[in-house]
Structures are given as structure tokens and as C-alpha cells.
Amino acid sequence: MTLIFTPLKLSFEDESESIVELSSDTTDYKWGKMPSKRSIKELLDYGIINLDKPPRPTSHEVVSYVKKMLNLQKAGHSGTLDPLVTGVLPIALGRATKILGTLLLAGKEYVCNMRLHKDVEEERIKEIMNEYVGDIYQRPPFRSSVKRVLRVRKVYENEIIDIKEREVLFRIKCQAGTYIRKYAHDIGQSLSCGAHMKELRRIRSGPFSEKKYLATLQDLYDAYMWLEEEKDEIPLRNIILPMEMGVTHLPKIFVKDSTVDSLCHGAPLAMPGVSKFTNNFSKGNMVGIFTLKHELIGLGEAQLDSENLKSKEQGLLASVNRVIMQIGTYPSQKKDN
């Protein structure tokens, strides 16, 4: 029996984003490459996997499994999950590890099963949990890897899914760095009954969620073996995504072909090199800088508000703090003349 795999349709933009065009520049396909057209070899150096972490191994061990499975020297994850916690663990490969800092700071979403230590009325549980939305104060637990200082974290939303006897199943959207174990403990303190986190699953990390592109370690192994034995790339392509999928949550600036090489050398981005941008960033925001083929060149810091750019023709728009594209991918300005 012959198995047939269908390639995924990838989208590198948020359809809700408002794009402002400053010029009608087009791109030359003699250099560069659309992310979806990269070879498997290129994806292994510029790819990212939306991995479903299993229970028991540490996040570091999961990365080691991926490196060994794919014969890679370099890979990294976007935020530690405790050994027993499951769910979304984006893993970047090769040079794509340079984008992990953007995911570490991105919002997270979890489903938690909280165990109360005494019986409590449902209305009282709902009342207290409503108080744990917005800014909350947390001190990292003793076994955390960060300094144990009191800090503020934002909970955007919590929703009780089900209450059964002493167990409360709820979904929480929160700022990066929020400790759900501590969150459950503090709710138990407010309920005067005590509570602990019984089970936890991360269902979203930045632009990655369990609803799309999620793959298990077994899926990855099977896809790699299918490539090795059947020479069929599609299953692995459906798992190793272009790294641009990992920065869809960032504001975007698209530049002219003639500007790309100078940015690869670390030069700041000036207004004459800009072709279009998403109208959703302020001065000081992290931005993704892209070619007109939607390749990620690097990450920068906006020096102006996007609202002020339409009428501006000169000046610096963004610094380039982290270069990802290799020098020479596009010709220099001198070669272009």
C-alpha cells in the first residue's frame, strides 16, 4: 500500500494585520528564497518544530532527543516546562535558535487541573478566581532557576471549565514567566483550604498552539525515517516549519532587495530601504525585519512609531539587534549598480 501525504499550507502573516505600503517594489528571484521553498537541509538550519512535550522527560532532554533524531549540532527550546507538564514546546533548529528570545517573552496559555485540600462551594471558587485576573504578585518557587524576588505578572483571562468535588479544571491566558503551580497555591490560600497543581498542559506559546502543526516525538521520528527510507520529504516538511512561523506575533517591516545585504552586516534600517510595514508598533518595540519574499533577515528595535511613518522619507526606522540571515544571501548595493 502506498501512503500519500499532503503538504501543509503555511501562512506567515496574521490576516488581521494592517499592511501599509510605501513603495511598489518587487523582488528578484535570482537570490533569496521563499520560506516554504527551502530544502530539507535548509529547514534543518532555519526551521522550528511545534512539539507536543510528553510527560516525564525535562525540556532539555526533549531537545537532546530531537538533536539526536535529526543529527543536529544545535537546537533549543522556547521556555522550560516541568518534567510532568505536557504540551506546546517550540524547538528551534540551527540558526533559527536566534529567534527563541521572542518566544520566551510571548504570552502563554495553559489548562490546569487544581486540587483543593478541602470542600469549597462552587460560587466561592468562582468568586476567588475572578480576583486572580489582571496584575498579580508572584515570588518564584525555591526550585526555579530565576532570582526569587517579588514581581508582577499579568493574567489576561481565566476560565473554569469544570468543577468536580475538590478538583477544578480551568484555562488560563497569562504573561510569560507566570508560575501556574504558584498561581494554584495562592488561590488555595485565598480559599482558606489550600490547593496544589495536580496536572498542567500548555496549549499555546506565542504563535504556536496545540490546534495547528503540533507533532509528537514519535511523529518526528516516523517522518525522518520516511524521508530516509522512502525519500519522501512531505511528512517531515509538515513538522519542521520555516522559522518565520515563530515570529508571526511580531510587528513586521519589509525591505527592498537592495537593502538586505547591509542589514545582514548589522547596519540599521533607514527609511529609504523600507517597502512596507504592519501598522501596529511603537518606538522601542521588537520588530521582525523581512525581505519581500517573507524571509526573516533579523530582529530589531523600532526607533519610531508606525503611525508616523507614512509621511516620513528619511531617518532611521529600526536598529538591527540580531541578524539571522547569512551574509551574501542577497547582493550588496555595489553589485546591484
- Please tell me the predicted confidence (pLDDT) of residue 335: 45
Domains in the chain: ranges and CATH:
108-205 (3.30.70.3190), 250-336 (2.30.130.10)
Q: Which of 14, 25, 82, 219 is catalytic?
A: 82
> Distance between CA 199 and CA 148 in Å, rounded?
24
Separation CA 86–CA 51 (nearest Å):
10
- 107 in Cβ contact with 206 (< 8 Å): yes
Helix (H, G, I), strand (E, B) or coil at 91: strand
pLDDT at 59 over 50: yes
Report pLDDT digits (tens) over 152-192. 999 999 999 999 999 999 999 999 999 999 999 999 999 99
| Cell 532532554, located at residue | 61
For the stretch 60-119, pLDDT in tens is: 999 999 999 999 999 999 888 999 999 999 999 999 999 999 998 899 999 999 999 999
Rounded to whole angstroms, the Cα distance separating 294 from 97 reads 18
pLDDT at 104: 86
Q: Is 82 a catalytic residue?
A: yes
pLDDT at residue 312 tops 90: no
Helix (H) or strand (E) holding 318: strand 316-323
Higher pLDDT, 337 or 289: 289
* Across 5-34, average pLDDT: 77
The pTM score is: 0.91
Q: Are 135 and 175 in contact (CB under 8 A)?
A: no
Cα–Cα distances in angstroms (integers) from residue 23 to residues 110, 136, 257, 277, 281, in the given order:
42, 45, 12, 11, 19
Share of the chain above pLDDT 90, in %: 81
The whole-angstrom separation of Cα 264 and Cα 26 is 20
